[in-house]
Amino acid sequence: QKEVEQDPGPLSVPEGAIVSLNCTYSNSAFQYFMWYRQYSRKGPELLMYTYSSGNKEDGRFTAQVDKSSKYISLFIRDSQPSDSATYLCATLNRDDKIIFGKGTRLHILP
Amino acid sequence: DTGVSQNPRHKITKRGQNVTFRCDPISEHNRLYWYRQTLGQGPEFLTYFQNEAQLEKSRLLSDRFSAERPKGSFSTLEIQRTEQGDSAMYLCASSFPGELYEQYFGPGTRLTVT
C-alpha cells in the first residue's frame, strides 16, 4: 500500500460550486498533512498544512483531517476558473520526508 | 524576489550528455531539497542538504546523479551520462529545519533527454 493515495481525476465542476478533494494515508503515526496546488509546468505551491486532526480554514479553502479513518480533505468554496490546477496532498512520514499523492487534476468550468 | 529560483527552466539534451541544474533557495532557509516529478505523479524525494552538508540521498538517486551545496547557499544537481528515463521535472525546495512540513518549491527544471 502506498503511503498516500489520491484519485488523479480529472474532476470537472462548474464555477461557484464547492469542490471536495480527498486523500487517504497508510500510517496512523503521521501528524502533518499538507495541500499543494500546482499549475501546469510550474512548481507546487503550498496552500496550507494541518497538524493532527481537525479543520483549518484559509479564505475559500478548508483542510480537514480525520485520523480515525486516515482521510484528508480539501474543500474549495465558491470555486473560480483560476482554481483549475492539480492539487497534491502530502504528509510528513516517519523519516521526516514529504510523501506526495499523485495529485488530482481539477477543472473549474466557467 | 524572495522565492526559490531554478535555472535553466528547460533543458533538452542528447542521451549520454551531462547536464547541471542550479537552485537558489529562499535566503533564510538552511534546508534545501531536490525532487523529481514525472507526468501524472507527485514529486519524489531525491536528496536534501542542511547548510552545506548532504544529509540523505534516496535510492532513486543513482551514482550518475550528484548534488552539491558548496557554501550552504545555492545548490547544483548534475546528471552524468543522461538516459531517456531521466526525462522529468527536477524541483528544488527549501525550508527552515524546524518546519520540514513547510517547504517552498521553485518553478522546476524540465529535462528532456532525446
Chain B positions touching chain A (beta carbons under 8 Å): 4, 6, 40-45, 91, 93, 100-108, 110
The three-class DSSP label of residue A16 is coil
Whether B108 sits inside 8 A of A43 (CB atoms) is yes
Digitized pLDDT (tens) for each residue of chain A, 110 residues in all: 688 999 988 999 999 999 999 999 999 888 999 999 999 989 999 999 999 888 999 999 999 999 999 999 999 999 999 999 999 999 998 888 899 999 999 999 99
> Tens of pLDDT along B21-41?
999 999 989 999 999 999 999
Q: What is the Cα–Cα distance from B41 to A2, expressed in whole angstroms?
A: 13
* Chain A residues within an 8 Å CB radius of B43: 44, 88, 98, 100
Q: How many helices (H) and strands (E) does chain A have?
A: 0, 11
Whether A46 sits inside 8 A of B104 (CB atoms) is yes
Q: How confident is the model at residue B1 (pLDDT cuts 50, 70, 90)?
A: low
CA distances from A75 to A67, B71, B103 (A): 17, 42, 21
* Chain B residues within an 8 Å CB radius of A100: 42-44
For residue A17, give the DSSP letter: P
Whether A43 sits inside 8 A of B42 (CB atoms) is no
pLDDT of residue B71: 86
> Tens of pLDDT along B92-107?
999 987 888 889 999 9
